[in-house]
Structures are given as C-alpha cells and as structure tokens.
Amino acid sequence: GFLVAAAAALPACASAVPPAPAPVARPLPRDGVPAAIADLHLTVYPEPRQASYGDVLLPLDAHRRVDVATPDFLSVLEARELLDDWKDLPPEGYVLEVAWDGARTVVIVAGADETGQRWAEEALRQLTLESDARRWARDCVIVDRPGFPLRGNKRPQAWEEPYRANFAWGAGYDAHSAGRTRAAYFAPGSPFDATEAGLDAALRAFGPLHAQGVRHFAVKFDDVGFGLTAASRLAFGSYPRAVVSYLRRLRTVLRSVDPGAKLYYLPQTYWWNDPRFAELALAIRNSGGLDPDVGLVLTGPEIISATIDAPGLAAARRAFGTTQTRALVYDNLGREGDWGPLTGRDPGLTAECDGVFGERGTPVNRLTRLDWSWNPVGYVAERSWNRAILELAGPAGFGALRDACAAFREGRAPDEVRAAIERFDAAPGRDWPGPLPRSELLRLLREDLARLTRAHATDG
C-alpha cells in the first residue's frame, strides 16, 4: 500500500493538525464481492493509463484536499513526486492520489484542465465507499490521460458521460448529446448537385449548427450512386471533379467563417476493401485531389468490421491524400443483441483517427467501447466486460447479469436466454446506484430476447 509516513514531505499538512500515530484505515471489503471481480472492486473505470492501488480504505473525515486552487499546490505535487506527471498531462488528463501523511488522509485531485478535473472527481467517486455513516477512499496513485480525443456514439446516451463520452456523430440538441463535441453531417443524395445551389443547401444546413457551437462538419455519400444532375455534369464533366470542387468550395466557406472548423468526407466506398475503393480514390486525386486537411470517415476494412487495423486506415488515408486531419471511424460493430465487449480494434488507430464511434449498442458494449477509447493500450476485453457488468449490476447482481450477457454471447437458445434474464430480475441488489436502473437493463435485455426469438423462429 501507500501508508508511508509523509509528514516531512507535506509540512503544511503535518503542521495543520496534531500528529496521529497511524491512520484509522479499513481493509478493502470483500464480503459479497464475487471472485471474478475481487480485483476490480473500488477501481477506476475506464481503465487509467497508470494506476497503483493499495489494500486499504482511508477515512475522509477531516481529510486535506489538494487541487489546483490550493496555495501550495505545486510544492505538494513536487513533494509527492507528481509534479512532472501533472505538467506533462494533455487536455483531459488528471492526477489523483489518496494517501496518509502521518496525521490524516490527503487527497490530491488535479486535472490538466476543467475537463480533466471532472474526470479526476469521477475517479475519486469510484474509489469512495460510504459505510457506517462515514466516507472512505481507497489508497491509490493514478496518472491518467485519454487515448482518443473523441469518444462516443451516433446515438449517445446521457448516462455515458461520466465514463468519458464526449462525442456525438450527428448534431442532436437533447439531453443525451449536451456538452459533447458534435459532428454535423449533410447528405447531398443522388443525383448529386455540385452547383452553387447544391452548395447553398449544405451551408443552410450547417449554418445554424455552427451558430450553436458545432465545428465538425461531414458530407456523406454512403449508400447512394454516382449520378450527377444535368447542371452539375455540364459544369464539371465528371463525378470526381464535381466532388473535388464541391468539397473545396465548402471548405473555403467554412474556414472563412471559422478557421478552426473541420470538414470530413464520407465516400460511397466507405470501407477500404470495397473493390471500387482504389478506383474512386485515384479518380479523386486525378481530378485535383482533396485538400489534405479534409478528413475521411470510414467503417474499416468492411462495412461491419471484425477487426480494424491502423496500417489499413493509414493506407486508405494516403489513397485519398487526406494526410493532415485525422480520420473518424464509423464503427458498425456492436449493435442490438451484442452484450459482449468491444474486440478487434488496433490501439495504433490513435495515430490515424480522432475517434472510433459506434452507431448504437447495448450498455455493456457501450461501456467497453468507452473503456477502449480512453485507454486502447491498456484495454483487456474480458476484464472490461466484467467491469462494465459490475458498473451496471453491482456486486450483488453481478453474477446474474453476467450470465444473462453470456447467454447472448454464447448463442444460447431463446428459452435459456429468457431463464437467465429472469434470474437477473430476481437477483439481489436491485437498488444498486448504477448508470442505469435495473428496470431499464431488463427492458433492453427483453427487447433483444424478442429479436433473438424472432430470428430463431425464422431460422427454424
């Protein structure tokens, strides 16, 4: 653990109160905690980049809190050998330590910015236990930072936000996407109108969204043909020339209004194993090429990709010549019925894209995606799966929810899945204060059971 005498290292703390011989610490609670999650209980999720946990809980009665507003903040961090770590943090990064200084508990909660401070507070909340009308926090040292700057979904849910969700594909204006970085998109359709009238249609769609804070804009051509309006064919001669001109003019207007705006292109060949991919990319380059700071939006090697690799995405970006603004990956894996963890995503994607976002997904799949998006290098799928289930069901309901999720993962017969769901319904811990109430989890499980039952009947 970290129960070392640190009074000399924190003189301001030691002089503030009379010295105490030892902390009134408590061992980590193990009663009622299933063996599968014993090492996950009272840890931080999403998985931090660097985390060391002690084996005791320290009292928060009369503890000393140290944050960026504390007068001797820098000297405290230096004494605790955390100053260099804190200075090196990128946006959203944070440092958290809970330790005994020889007299009382000291809690250092230090974000690189306002958002990092929020994540530090959330991490401390996950490490805090209320028992016997007292509050306790786990002995720890954590230095954390995000892997991807954008983490989220096409259909965001408000409950995801404390798990570091900060992105929404599509610019919705409801409680689910409040506070997120939003990417607005416009679909010109087919036949494609690349004239000034067609450009004006995109600008009319984007203008009000930009006024409300949106700075990421995408033009998407997924699932449409390559036809041009008569006026566009007369003006540009070919589809690739029309696309190049349209995106260049749109980029110019967006940048004239907001130099920090980002423009993305989602082509018809939005998976790089599409046999038309290389041909379209070459035609775009031969028609003048995209501006190198236009980003691509792709789904991976396939429309629904079991694996997405960084070298493949890098080659796809080079093919289109989009070498500056990193891509976005629209990940179609993990929809209804997928109660397992996210798998098959290359950690090296952090060098090629700003985010790998899902279209939708079960709460378990969403949580594991957010875990991977925050720390792809340290992500372990099965560990994350267990932790997601713990977040949703708590220790008392963990085993029953895990079995219900496993029933879907293993492709069990509908009657077996139904029985597992009913066992979760009857399991203790219904009042667990997780991100979603048990009633909502049961509703989602039963909806997916109904889909499974219909599919099973059709297959039969």
Residue 115, SS3 per DSSP: helix
Q: Which two tokens stand for residue 116?
A: 């990092």
d(CA 253, CA 78): 48
Average pLDDT over residues 260-278: 97
Predicted confidence at residue 232, as pLDDT, reads 98
What average pLDDT does the structure give for the chain? 92
E-assigned strands of 60-172?
64-66, 94-100, 105-111, 128-131, 134-144, 152-153, 167-169
* pLDDT digit string, tens, across residues 116-125: 999 999 999 9
Predicted confidence at residue 263, as pLDDT, reads 97
Question: Alpha helix (H) ranges present in 131-238?
Answer: 196-211, 230-236
Q: What percent of the chain has pLDDT over 90?
A: 85
d(CA 255, CA 235): 24
Q: What angle, 0 to 180 degrees and rounded to 10, lies between the N-to-C axes of helices 239-257 and 277-286?
A: 70
Is residue 11 very low, low, confident or very high in pLDDT (cuts 50, 70, 90)?
very low
Predicted confidence at residue 146, as pLDDT, reads 98
- Quick check: 23 pLDDT over 50? yes
- Quick check: 255 pLDDT over 50? yes
Choice among 78-92, 255-269, 445-459 with the minimum mean pLDDT: 445-459
Predicted confidence at residue 3, as pLDDT, reads 28
Q: pTM to 2 decimals?
A: 0.92
The answer to whether 67 and 1 have CB atoms below 8 angstroms apart is no
Predicted confidence at residue 22, as pLDDT, reads 54
Predicted confidence at residue 25, as pLDDT, reads 87
Is residue 150 very low, low, confident or very high in pLDDT (cuts 50, 70, 90)?
very high
- Quick check: 277 pLDDT over 90? yes
Average pLDDT over residues 51-58: 96
295 to 305, 328, 329, 439: CA distances (angstroms):
20, 7, 10, 41
* pLDDT digit string, tens, across residues 323-342: 899 999 999 998 889 999 99
Phi, psi of 438, deg, nearest 5: -60, -35
Identity (one letter) of the amino acid at 214? Answer: V
